[in-house]
Amino acid sequence: MTRTFHVAVVGASGAVGREMLETLEQRDFPVGQLTLLASERSAGEKLTFRDAPYTIKQLTADSFEGVEIALFSAGGSTSRQFAPIAAKAGAVVIDNSSAWRMDDSVPLLVPEVNPEAALTHKGIIANPNCSTIQMVVALAPIHKAARIRRIVVSTYQSASGAGKKGMDELADQTVAILNQKPFEIKVHHKQLAFNCVPHIGSFLDNGYTDEEMKLVHETRKIMGDDTIEVSPTAVRVPVFCGHSEAVNLDLEKPLTVNQVRELLRAAPGVVLVDDPKENGYPVPIECPSTDDVFVGRIRRDPTRANVINLWVVSDNLRKGAALNAVQIAELLVRENNL
C-alpha cells in the first residue's frame, strides 16, 4: 500500500496557496490528510480538494500536530514566526517566502538544478523567488556545459507576482481607464494598466530593489557558484500571469546557438520554442497553468564573443511557486528524506 502523508498548506486562501492545492491534486501527490491554514481573516472559508470540501483553519502555534509536510505561502513574517514551530513539531517546511532563502543552514532548492541540496535540510527548505526559478532552470545546463561568467537579465513580471490583489488592481484599472473612470493605486507603485513599472519590491542603498537582488544572491546559491556576476532589472508589466525574462549570458567556453538549443532541448523542465520565422517564441499568454519553462529567441550577441541571448517565459504561480514547492515535496518522498 502506498504511504500517504499529512500535508498542511499555510496561506491556503491566497493565489499561490490555491495553486498549491491544485498542483497537489493534479500531480496525485499522496495526501492522506490535509490541513488548510491561513490568517484569522480567512478562517472558515471552504476550498475543494479531490471533490471534497475543506475548511480553512486559523494558523496558530498548535496547528502542526501530526503534519509531515507543510507548504508555506503566507509571507515572510509568518514564515519566520511559524516555520520553526512547524519544523519542531516534526514537519518538513517548504517555504515560498524570502524569509529563509539566504540562511546558510537552509537549502534553496530547484529540483531540476540542485536536488542534492535536499539532503542537507534541517526541517526547512526554501523555495526560490519566481523569477529566479525559471531563469536557473533554463541556465543550469548551459552553465554545466560552458560555465556562465556573467548574466544580464531584465524581467517582465506579471501582476500575479503581487498576488490576487495585484491581479485585481490591474483588472480594475483597465476597466476604469477604458470607461474613463477614476481609479486608485494601492498594490503597484504606479498605474500598471497600459504601462510598465521598473519597481518591484523596495529600493536598496545600491539603487537596486530587493526583488532584483534576489536574482543575484539566489542564482549564486542555487548554482553553487559565487563568482557568477548578475546584473538585474525587474519590471512589472500589465500581464495577469506569467513572467518573461530577457537574458544575456557571457560564457567562459564558446557555444554555438545550435549547441545551446540542443542543451535546452534535453534539459528537464524546459521546452524549446525557437522558430522565429514562424513566430515560434514563447509568450506568457500561451503558458498559463503549465509546468515547464519555455525558452526561445536564442541568438548570438553580435557585440561580444561567447555571449548568447535568450528569452525565458514561465507561469510564475505554477513553476515559479506552487509546482516547485510540490516538486520539492515529491523529491523528499522519493528520497525518503522527511
Catalytic (active site) residue 243: yes
Q: Which residue do the cell numbers 498542511 mark?
A: 8
With a pLDDT cut of 90, the percent of the chain lying above it is 96
User: Which residue segment(s) compose the domain that 115 sits in?
Assistant: 5-128+321-334
Question: Which pLDDT score is estimated for 181?
Answer: 98
Asked if 296 and 180 sit in the same domain, the reply is yes
**pTM of this structure:** 0.95
Q: Which residue has the cell 519590471?
A: 235
Average pLDDT, rounded, for the chain: 97
Do 145 and 179 share a domain, yes or no?
A: yes
Q: Which of 6, 143, 188, 243 is catalytic?
A: 243
Answer yes or no: do 80 and 182 share one domain.
no
Whether the per-residue pLDDT at 289 is higher than 90: the answer is: no
Strands 148-157 and 243-251: antiparallel
Are residues 115 and 32 both part of a single domain?
yes
* pLDDT digit string, tens, across residues 147-187: 999 999 999 999 999 988 999 999 999 999 999 999 999 99
Q: 130 catalytic, yes or no?
A: yes
Please tell me the total count of domains within the chain. Answer: 2
Task: Tell me: do 184 and 265 sit in the same domain.
Answer: yes
Whether residue 163 is found in the same domain as residue 76:
no
Contact 122, 86 (CB under 8 A): no
Find the catalytic residue in 121, 130, 188, 287.
130
Let me know whether 281 and 326 are in one domain. Answer: no
Q: What integer is the mean pLDDT of 309-321?
A: 96
Dihedral sign, CA of 220, 117, 132, 78?
negative
Q: Are 61 and 182 members of one domain?
A: no
Assign residue 181 the CATH number of its domain.
Answer: 3.30.360.10
Eight-class DSSP state of 278: G
Residue 214: predicted pLDDT: 98
Q: Residues 141, 235: one domain?
A: yes
How much is the pLDDT for 1? 64
pLDDT tens digits for range 190-222: 999 999 999 999 999 999 999 999 999 999 999
Q: How far is 11 from 84, CA to CA, in rounded Å?
A: 16
Cell digits of residue 325: 514547492
